[in-house]
Amino acid sequence: MRATVIHGTHDIRVDDVPDPSIIKPTDAIVKITASCVCGSDLWSYRGITPVEEPKRIGHELVGVIEEVGSEVKTLKPGDFVIAPFATSDGTCVNCQHGMHTSCVNGSFFSAADKDGLIDGGQGEWARAPWADGTLVKVPEMPDADMIPSLLTLSDVMGTGHHAAIAAGVKPGDRVVVVGDGAVGLSAVLAASRLGAERIILMSRHADRQAIGKRFGATDIVEERGPDGIARIQELLGGPGADAALECVGTQESLEQAVGATRPGGRVGYVGLPHAVSQVPIFQMFLTNVSLSGGIAPVRSYLDELLKDVLDGTIEPGLVFDLQLPLGEVADAYAAMDERRSIKTLLWPGR
Amino acid sequence: MRATVIHGTHDIRVDDVPDPSIIKPTDAIVKITASCVCGSDLWSYRGITPVEEPKRIGHELVGVIEEVGSEVKTLKPGDFVIAPFATSDGTCVNCQHGMHTSCVNGSFFSAADKDGLIDGGQGEWARAPWADGTLVKVPEMPDADMIPSLLTLSDVMGTGHHAAIAAGVKPGDRVVVVGDGAVGLSAVLAASRLGAERIILMSRHADRQAIGKRFGATDIVEERGPDGIARIQELLGGPGADAALECVGTQESLEQAVGATRPGGRVGYVGLPHAVSQVPIFQMFLTNVSLSGGIAPVRSYLDELLKDVLDGTIEPGLVFDLQLPLGEVADAYAAMDERRSIKTLLWPGR
């Protein structure tokens, strides 16, 4: 089959790779309908995470079940499914706590489990381990225009939602969102969905600001650092936000989030803290600002968010501002790298 | 009057100092019944926080109102009161959020506000700013044997409780307490009071273990580091505790708390992070272990905890294993410094 392989910095190609097959009776094979490029894929693309040898990449996918192993009970060929970026058995102690990303049998798409490679999303097919636990069935075959929103449930919408849940966003809250990428915008939508009264999006890009407002942002702050904090305090007429959602993962973004939060407020963080050298613990101690979050257990939120997507309550798929056939994946990465696209959807079948 | 003054490392004396007086109409003067030495006082005593010039010290006190300013409404001479270690007006935006330690008009006993020195607890009298907000009246004059427990509400019991609240301890939880000082032991009591099912106290001292067990610890772990974490996982038969209460403030204790917590679990921290060089943010990200807490807004918990002290539900005063007259304050500090005493109570009137 054809699938995306990263060969080195700025070198991404569609190669011929082995077709996936059922390895364990709990596996399923999914024919991929749509996939996309994640901000975290850019770490390798930009060479920040070195690429030692060519490797498969991608971890967001929706598609149709083609084959199931003999122990798969809840899925059958023809079912349309959403795959969260992490695989999980759904039954272990951590899954029971809703922490599917810490599943004792789990792994990640584009990584490997002890049975071998788990195909990434950016290809024609994928093996999905622990199919009953990992995959979520969509009740009916969705229309094409529903696909982008369903695809966000494999990562960015669930991740933005996790930031809001980690920060305990509740009706009436005043929330700051740091980061205007697809996850930050999803966090705006999640905060709005949870009833936040004010949502301040920190953004300097008109296209992202527009989607942020459509998702429920009540205010935009373009300033950063101390000026950004001062502007937030001015807008809120007080010592800061009840909650800040940190959706970037740098030292500056974490300090921005902590500084924008009122005493006793909560920072929910989902940006991979790749570039965080120092958590401002003393400032947090003196102000009782808490820090919750991490890699999002998207699976645990999927049923709830799926319902809202299907009934039209939310349309997170608006974060996709570029759609390309799989064969043009190099353009997809370049467009996101150069910020010409917020998030790019890939169609393997086109 | 006589009050404790720290002159330098290991040099603590009772000196003659000016009597306090009403400076603002919202002040009260308290005749101190009992005070004590805090673990945080030892930072100066040990020279870790340099003492540039002689300064007043102490911040925990209970006593009897001697005089009130013209605008004090809820207190009168003769009332027995508890003073939390932070002063607060009780009305500002941060106090309304229960964050009295961030009161916009607040300060700390033994520090200064804009009107001048706020006397510390280790003396005969103290000026209490914002008396209506700061002080909590005990309904009746307490018996002498109730004094130690009431005194813990000025700091350590409220601080241990804050660790448990920050970590979201709830009925049925399995909790680890890191630190067997007065705050750690209070955290055990707080977790027990909140309904924790298992409480593992990390302690190597028989006297502290005994009080911990009396306060509700179900297990003691003497090992530290990876061995301590392995022992906790063995005791709990799983990936770690639901919550860890970090009551020390060192790099090792924070890592111990994070490592002892299961994926998705919560660390409540109240140890002043004086000696924390690096929050293990990447480990926290991968496991979704959250970090909440900070300097405890003891005032916000005082009414609730006072009720339980007065009706005998909790007896936090057991942390005091040494009681001395104020004149022997040097012995009090030495005893705590040398770990001969868990916490030492001082009687200014004896």
Instruction: Mark out the alpha helices in B51-199 (DSSP H runs).
Output: 93-96, 131-134, 147-152, 156-166, 182-193
Facing residue for A279 by CB, picked from B99, B281, B295: B281
Does A295 sit within 8 Å of B286, measured CB to CB? yes
CA distance B70 to A322: 69
Does B285 sit within 8 Å of A295, measured CB to CB? yes
Chain B hits for A239, Cβ within 8 Å? 93-94, 102, 104
Give the tens place of pLDDT for each residue, B1-10: 999 999 999 9
CA distance B175 to B267: 10
* Average pLDDT of the residues of chain A: 97
Residue B193 is predicted with a pLDDT of 98
Residue A113 is predicted with a pLDDT of 82
Instruction: Return all residues near A23 (Cβ < 8 A) that are at least 6 apart.
Output: A115, A116, A127
Instruction: Give how far Cα B214 sits from Cα of B38, B39, B247, Å.
Output: 22, 21, 18
* Average pLDDT of the residues of chain B: 97
Closest A-chain CA to B250: A281
A84, A85, A91, A94: CA torsion to nearest 10 = -120
Facing residue for B294 by CB, picked from A166, A262, A285: A285
Q: What CATH number does the domain located at B159-293 have?
A: 3.40.50.720
Does B102 sit within 8 Å of A239, measured CB to CB? yes
pLDDT band at B174 (very low <50, low <70, confident <90, very high): very high
Give the tens place of pLDDT for each residue, B129-168: 999 999 999 999 999 999 999 999 999 999 999 999 999 9
Chain B hits for A284, Cβ within 8 Å? 291, 294
Facing residue for B284 by CB, picked from A263, A289, A294: A294
pLDDT band at B287 (very low <50, low <70, confident <90, very high): very high
- Interface residue of A173, A270, A290, A300 to substitute, partner B, most B CBs within 10 Å: A290
What is the b/e burial string over A25-37, where b = at least 16 CB atoms within 10 angstroms of the residue's CB? ebbbbbbbbbbbb
CA distance B202 to B217: 10
Chain B hits for A290, Cβ within 8 Å? 166, 290-293
Q: Sign of the CA dihedral B92, B94, B98, B102?
A: negative
Q: Is the pLDDT of residue A114 over 90?
A: no
Instruction: Return all residues near A155 (Cβ < 8 A) that are at least 6 apart.
Output: A38, A59, A60, A84, A85, A296, A298
Closest A-chain CA to B237: A93
Gap from B196 CA to chain A (nearest CA, Å):
17
Unique residue bearing structure tokens 């599943």: A103
Chain A hits for B297, Cβ within 8 Å? 264, 288
Contact of A263 with chain B, judged by CB distance below 8 Å, is answered with yes
Give the tens place of pLDDT for each residue, B6-36: 999 999 999 999 999 999 999 999 999 999 9
Residue B112 is predicted with a pLDDT of 85
pLDDT band at B306 (very low <50, low <70, confident <90, very high): very high
Residue A292 is predicted with a pLDDT of 98
CA distance B328 to B281: 44
CA distance B76 to B312: 26
Closest B-chain CA to A293: B288
Q: In this structure, what token pair is assigned to residue A327?
A: 């064969």
Does A264 sit within 8 Å of B273, measured CB to CB? no
Residue A193 is predicted with a pLDDT of 98
A180, A183, A188, A192: CA torsion to nearest 10 = 170
Chain A hits for B298, Cβ within 8 Å? none
Does B295 sit within 8 Å of A262, measured CB to CB? no
Fold (CATH) for A2-155+297-347: Quinone Oxidoreductase; Chain A, domain 1 (3.90.180)
Closest A-chain CA to B251: A281
Span A172-183, mean pLDDT?
98
Q: Global pTM?
A: 0.97
Span A74-87, mean pLDDT?
98
User: A-B interface: how many C-beta pairs under 8 angstroms?
Assistant: 117
Span A186-191, mean pLDDT?
98
pLDDT band at B309 (very low <50, low <70, confident <90, very high): very high
Give the tens place of pLDDT for each residue, B35-61: 999 999 999 999 988 999 999 999 999
Facing residue for B263 by CB, picked from A102, A266, A279: A102
Instruction: Return all residues near A291 (Cβ < 8 A) that are at least 6 apart.
Output: A258, A267, A269, A279, A284, B284, B290, B291, B292
DSSP 3-state assignment of B335? helix
Contact of A25 with chain B, judged by CB distance below 8 Å, is answered with no
pLDDT band at B318 (very low <50, low <70, confident <90, very high): very high
Closest A-chain CA to B238: A93
pLDDT band at B349 (very low <50, low <70, confident <90, very high): confident
CA distance B32 to B347: 8
Chain A hits for B239, Cβ within 8 Å? 93-94, 102, 104
Report the run of H or E that residue A283 belongs to, with start and end. helix A281-287
Contact of A62 with chain B, judged by CB distance below 8 Å, is answered with no
Residue B275 is predicted with a pLDDT of 84
Residue A98 carries which DSSP code?
A: T
Contact of B233 with chain A, judged by CB distance below 8 Å, is answered with no
Are the CB atoms for B249 and B273 separated by under 8 Å? yes
Chain A hits for B88, Cβ within 8 Å? none
Task: Sort strands A174-178 and B112-113 into parallel, antiparallel or unpaired.
Answer: unpaired
Instruction: Return all residues near B143 (Cβ < 8 A) that are at least 6 apart.
Output: none
How much is the ipTM here?
0.97
Span A272-291, mean pLDDT?
94
Span B272-281, mean pLDDT?
91
Give the tens place of pLDDT for each residue, A189-228: 999 999 999 999 999 999 999 999 999 999 999 999 999 9
pLDDT band at B350 (very low <50, low <70, confident <90, very high): confident
Residue A74 carries which DSSP code?
A: S
Facing residue for A264 by CB, picked from B99, B238, B272: B99
Q: In this structure, what token pair is assigned to residue B104?
A: 């916009």
Domain ranges of chain A: 2-155+297-347, 159-293
Span A134-155, mean pLDDT?
98
pLDDT band at A86 (very low <50, low <70, confident <90, very high): very high
Residue A83 amino acid letter? A
Chain A hits for B291, Cβ within 8 Å? 284, 290-292
Residue numbers of B between 276 and 295 with CB closer than 8 Å to A: 276, 278-279, 281-282, 284-295
Q: Is the pLDDT of residue A33 over 90?
A: yes
Residue B84 is predicted with a pLDDT of 98
CA distance B87 to A31: 64
Does A289 sit within 8 Å of B269, measured CB to CB? no
Does A292 sit within 8 Å of B286, measured CB to CB? no
Give the tens place of pLDDT for each residue, B211-240: 999 999 999 999 999 999 999 999 999 899
Gap from A311 CA to chain B (nearest CA, Å):
30
Chain B hits for A281, Cβ within 8 Å? 273, 276, 279
Facing residue for A264 by CB, picked from B98, B266, B285: B98
Percent above pLDDT 70 for chain A? 100
Contact of B99 with chain A, judged by CB distance below 8 Å, is answered with yes
Instruction: Return all residues near B216 (Cβ < 8 A) that are at least 6 apart.
Output: B188, B189, B191, B192, B193, B196, B199
Are the CB atoms for A149 and A316 separated by under 8 Å? yes
Facing residue for B295 by CB, picked from A94, A286, A294: A286
Does B290 sit within 8 Å of A290, measured CB to CB? yes
Gap from A101 CA to chain B (nearest CA, Å):
8
SS3 content of chain B, % helix, strand, coil (to 5): 35, 25, 40
Residue A165 is predicted with a pLDDT of 98
pLDDT band at B274 (very low <50, low <70, confident <90, very high): confident
* Lowest-confidence pick of A141-145, B85-89, B272-276: B272-276
pLDDT band at A339 (very low <50, low <70, confident <90, very high): very high
Percent above pLDDT 70 for chain B? 100
pLDDT band at A116 (very low <50, low <70, confident <90, very high): confident
Q: Is the pLDDT of residue B241 over 90?
A: yes
Contact of A325 with chain B, judged by CB distance below 8 Å, is answered with no
CA distance A180 to A182: 7
Residue A312 is predicted with a pLDDT of 97
Contact of A273 with chain B, judged by CB distance below 8 Å, is answered with yes
Q: In this structure, what token pair is assigned to residue B47?
A: 């020279």
Q: In this structure, what token pair is assigned to residue A222?
A: 């373009």
Give the tens place of pLDDT for each residue, B76-119: 999 999 999 999 999 999 999 999 999 999 999 999 888 889 99
- Interface residue of B40, B247, B288 to substitute, partner A, most A CBs within 10 Å: B288
